Amino acid sequence: MTAPVVIIGTGLAGYNLAREFRKLDGETPLLLITADDGRSYSKPMLSTGFAKQKDADGLSMAEPGAMAEQLKAEVRTHTRISGIDPGHKRVWIGEEAVAYRDLILAWGAETVRVPVDGDAGEAIFPINDLEDYARFRAAATGKQRVLILGAGLIGCEFANDLSSGGYQVDLVAPCEQVMPTLLHPAAALAVQTGLEGLGVRFHLGPVLTRLQRVTDGLEAHLSDGSVIACDLVVSAVGLRPRIDLAAAAGLAVNRGVVVDRTLSTSHANIYALGDCAEVDGLNLLYVMPLMSCARALAQTLAGNPTTVSYGPMPITVKTPACPLVVSPPPRGYEGQWQVEGEGADLKVLCHDADGKLLGYVLTGTAVMEKLALNRQLPALMA
Q: Using the rule CB under 6 A, is 107 a contact of ligand FAD?
A: yes
Restricted to residues 229-288, the positions that interact with ligand FAD (CB under 6 A) are 242, 274-275, 285-288
Conformation bin of residue 9: beta by default, left when phi > 0, alpha when psi is -120 to 50? left
Selected from 18, 30, 68, 81, the binder of ligand FAD by CB under 6 A is: 81
Is 326 an interacting residue with respect to ligand FAD (CB under 6 A)? no
CA distances from 21 to 72, 141, 219, 308 (A): 11, 41, 50, 15
CA pair distance 144, 160, nearest whole angstrom: 15
Q: Is 351 in the site for ligand FAD (CB under 6 A)?
A: no
Does 140 help bind ligand FAD (rule: CB under 6 A)?
A: no
Among 84, 104, 106, 380, binds ligand FAD (CB under 6 A): 106
- When the beta carbons of 108 and 329 are compared against ligand FAD, the nearer one is 108
Please report, for residues 176, 178, 183, 286, 356, the alpha-carbon distance to residue 153 in angstroms, rounded to integers and kept in the order given. 15, 8, 10, 11, 27
- Contact call for residue 161 and ligand FAD (CB under 6 A): no
Give the range of 10-18, 61-69, 94-102, 368-376 binding ligand FAD by CB under 6 A: 10-18
CB of 120 to ligand FAD, least distance (A): 23
CA distance 3 to 24: 18
Continuous H helices in 130-173: 130-140, 153-164
Cα separation, 144 vs 138, in Å, equals: 13
Best CA proximity match to 10, nearest among 101, 129, 95, 135: 129
Of 39-47, 112-120, 261-269, 340-348, which part binds ligand FAD (CB under 6 A)?
39-47
Which of 3-11, 94-102, 184-192, 227-235 is the region at the interface with ligand FAD (rule: CB under 6 A)? 3-11
**Which of the stretches 34-42, 134-142, 202-210, 217-225 binds ligand FAD when contact is defined by CB under 6 A?**
34-42
- Work out how close the CB of 283 gets to ligand FAD at its nearest, in angstroms, rounded to a whole number: 10
**Residue 222 vs 377, nearer CB to ligand FAD:** 377
Segment near ligand FAD (CB under 6 A), from 36-44, 137-145, 252-260, 350-358? 36-44
* Whole-angstrom Cα Rg for the chain: 22
Helix (H, G, I), strand (E, B) or coil at 20: helix
280 burial level (CB within 10 Å; 0-12, 13-18, 19+): middle
Q: Give the H/E segment covering residue 319.
A: none
Q: Does 44 bind ligand FAD (CB under 6 A)?
A: yes
Helix axes 12-24, 287-301, angle to 10 degrees: 40
CB of 249 to ligand FAD, least distance (A): 12
What number of H helices and E strands is found in the chain? 9, 28
**Contact in structure between 242 and 129 (CB atoms under 8 Å):** no
As measured in angstroms, the least distance from the Cβ of 76 to ligand FAD is: 9
Give the binding-site size for ligand FAD (rule: CB under 6 A): 33
Nearer to ligand FAD, 30 or 222 (CB): 30
Element (H, E) at 222: strand 217-222
> Which residue of 5, 6, 7, 8 would you call a contact of ligand FAD, by CB under 6 A?
8
Contact between 155 and ligand FAD (CB under 6 A)? no
Q: For residue 163, state whether it binds ligand FAD (rule: CB under 6 A).
A: no
Instruction: Please spell the DSSP secondary structure of 176-213, one letter per residue.
Output: SSSSTTT--HHHHHHHHHHHHHHT-EEEES--EEEEEE
**Stretch in the footprint of ligand FAD (CB under 6 A) among 106-114, 140-148, 199-207, 227-235:** 106-114
For ligand FAD, which is the closer residue by CB, 127 or 377? 127
Residues 186-209 as b or e (16 or more Cβ within 10 Å = b) = bbbbbbbebbbebebebbbeeebb
The contact set with ligand FAD (CB under 6 A) reads: 8-14, 33-36, 43-44, 46-47, 80-81, 106-108, 127-128, 154, 157, 242, 274-275, 285-288, 290, 318
